[in-house]
Amino acid sequence: MVGSASHRVNQNAQEIAAGIATAPDTRAALTIYFTYLISEKRASPRTIESYARDLTRFSEFLTDHLAGEPTVENLMGLSVADFRAFLAARRNDGLSPRSLARNLSCLKSFFRHMERTDIGANHAINRLRTPKTPHSIPKPVNVTTARALVNEAGTTSEIPWVAARNSAIITLLYGCGLRVSEALSLNRNIFPFGSSLRIVGKGNKERIVPILPIVTDAVNDYVEKCPIALAADGPLFVGVRGKRLGSREVQKLMVTLRAQLGLPSTATPHALRHSFATHLLSAGGDLRSIQELLGHASLSTTQVYTEVDAERLRNIYDKAHPRSRKR
């Protein structure tokens, strides 16, 4: 059984590496790297996809830059100027500082892994500084808007079971602070929920999330109305063809809700997760508990919500305090 799983991981890694046009020895190094990401790092499918895309662009750049598909020897001979030329090309492609930072992080990870596995070492990449990204804080919706989204979601389709499904998803995202991918990866056999739900999040990290009665009621309404036979080991949330619902459909749902409620483009599915955290913090929740509920590996990731709450308090002060009013 273990051998079979290991074989599947290796086969998956080979397929990903095969999609990157490069020299045979570099492709072999990529296969080892993606095997590591999948089996040891336990990276999410989304991370794997992003890294594969970044490394594809890097290989395409080097093929043009070096006038041939890059070999491992070529990779080890790259200079700081070569890496900077790649980042400059990606910047000219319109990449944001955040995306450039992710590109560089991916490359550093790949080169570190090649060094650890004795494939080769190139320390030039370590001399590159990560592009500065503008400091941003989450943009949650307020409590009134969150309630409106939950209430309005049930009016977004003329098909009763689809409307119930939409309502269940929005209620689940806001009521439990789930990532969209986490909600859509749930299988039918986890329902009825009980008082809590075990979520497998980023990096296959598990956490326990309490379930509110309103969430259970919304999902139950959807399950009862859904005309599609939901297999126990199949998806909980499905589309009209019975396939697992994709994140694109949830994005479209939020576009519809934004139009119906007159909300800005910052009201995204992920904003519901931000809202969950911010509203808990405003109600007196402590950061450690919120960190656990969100599944953040580091407390510093959760601490950004204190900035949101501080900004909210400043706005209240500016509007209400007599001294803050312009004369």
The residues facing 207 across adjacent strands are 199
Is 202 among the catalytic positions? yes
Cα–Cα distance between 150 and 145 in angstroms, integer?
A: 9
Catalytic residue among 102, 273, 274, 279: 273
Residue 40: how many other CB atoms lie within 10 Å:
9
Count of beta carbons in the 10 Å neighbourhood of residue 89: 16
Query: Rounded to an integer, what distance in angstroms lies between the CA atom of residue 275 and that of residue 137?
Result: 12
Asked about 270 being catalytic, the answer comes back as yes
Q: Give the SS3 label for residue 229.
A: coil
Catalytic residue among 57, 90, 179, 274: 179
> What's the CA gap between 97 and 163, in Å, rounded?
39
Candidates 87, 86, 96, 125; CA nearest to 109 is 125
Q: What distance in Å separates the CA atoms of residue 21 and residue 33, rounded to the nearest whole number?
A: 16
CB under 8 Å, gap of 24 or more: what pairs does 61-70 form? 61/85, 61/86, 61/89, 61/90, 62/22, 62/86, 63/21, 63/22, 68/23, 69/21, 69/22, 69/23, 69/26, 70/22, 70/23, 70/26
Q: Phi and psi at residue 207, in whole multiples of 5°?
A: -150, 160
Say if CB 26 and CB 59 are below 8 A apart. Answer: yes
Do 64 and 51 touch, CB atoms closer than 8 A?
no
Phi-psi group of 118: left, alpha or beta (phi > 0 → left; psi -120 to 50 → alpha; rest → beta):
left
Concerning whether 305 is annotated as a catalytic residue, the answer is yes
273 is catalytic: yes
Q: Which residues are catalytic?
A: 179, 202, 270, 273, 296, 305
